[in-house]
Amino acid sequence: MTTSQNRQPKGISTGGQFAPGTHAEATLLLDPADRPVTLAPGDSDTFAELADGDVIETLNVSRSDDGSGYWVSPAKTVNIAGLITDSDPRLHGKALDAWLEHNSPVIEDFLAERYEAVVTTEEGWSEAGIECTAQLPDGPLTESQVVDGAWNGTKIVQLHNESDHGSFGSENLGRLIIERVEGATAIEDPYVARGAGLRLGSDVVARHVDERHGKRPVSDAVAVAIAKELNGIRNSRGIIAYPAVGRLATRGYVDKAAVDLELERALTANQQSFYPDRKLARRIESLRTWLRDGGDNA
């Protein structure tokens, strides 16, 4: 992964791109920089004067209820829809709206993981709010520590650079999102399929698998039910988790490469056990078929 750190000297911006620490001696810090920040346990406050308005649009600081530390949370609004269209002009208008709606869980999780952030889309993907967070130890806190934690302790600068159309050698966020979506398989109607799948009992799932094994793929709902079961397989060593598979049940999509690896692991572990479970083997193969051919919801 290409990071955006220190691609130009601190204190210099080029076409909107910044290095961490850029404003450590510039307009972000008020004089004196060591002015204390005072928060009681459980309190939080917004420090607009410490946000530059470009890389960091808002800057919040909160203190834990037990006084064990502070959380510095810089945030900015990103036009994800615009970045997608810039990267693939075919995705615009209604086509873009449908694409974003269908792949929203994939995009949200990608942004949250890449930038270690909380993502909010109440205003839609044209104004997605992305809030990064860094934790600081408890004790006396100054404005300079808040600024340093925001710029150098979070991935807000990386987010800014990558959302600036991938200019000056940084990754292009629009292209990264498209690549992640292309590497995922999302359920066509996730709310209906997940709701139905999570209600299916093990016996019902087994019957569906037996009826369709080698004939046609299982439905999306059955695929969800299988994913839920596979993510908590119990053997002599305890419960084995397959998080990439489990994401189908929790979020309505899977990362194809990661799931392929997990299903191969699950199948191998079952085959090498003292008493291989034929029902489990069929579930795994059914989920593989679903991934390859899509769900048969008839």
Q: What CA dihedral angle connects 146, 151, 155 and 161, to 10 degrees?
A: 150
pLDDT tens figures, 73-119: 999 999 999 999 999 999 999 999 999 999 999 999 999 999 999 99
- Per-residue pLDDT for 218 more than 70? yes
pLDDT given for residue 17 in this prediction = 62
Q: Which of 175, 149, 148, 173 is nearest to 159 (CA)?
A: 173
pLDDT tens figures, 164-216: 876 678 899 999 999 999 999 999 888 899 899 989 999 999 999 999 988 89
pTM: 0.83
Q: How confident is the model at residue 237 (pLDDT cuts 50, 70, 90)?
A: low
Q: Where are the beta strands (DSSP E) in the chain?
A: 36-37, 44-46, 58-63, 69-78, 117-120, 128-132, 134-137, 141-142, 184-186, 233-235, 238-240, 253-255
In the three-class reduction of DSSP (H, G, I as helix; E, B as strand; rest coil), residue 203 is classed as helix
Question: How far apart (Å, rounded) are the C-alpha atoms in residues 254 and 247?
Answer: 6
Q: Where are the beta strands (DSSP E) in 167-230?
A: 184-186
Number of alpha carbons in the 13 Å side-chain half-sphere of residue 26: 12
Percent of the chain with pLDDT over 70: 86
pLDDT tens figures, 2-54: 333 333 333 344 445 666 544 433 344 445 568 899 999 999 999 999 999 99
- Per-residue pLDDT for 236 more than 80? no
Say which amino acid occupies 214. G
Question: How far apart (Å, rounded) are the C-alpha atoms in residues 34 and 26?
Answer: 14
Q: Where are the domains of the chain?
A: 36-182, 190-292
Average pLDDT over residues 220-238: 80
pLDDT tens figures, 141-171: 999 999 999 999 999 999 999 998 766 788 9
pLDDT given for residue 145 in this prediction = 94
pLDDT given for residue 240 in this prediction = 72
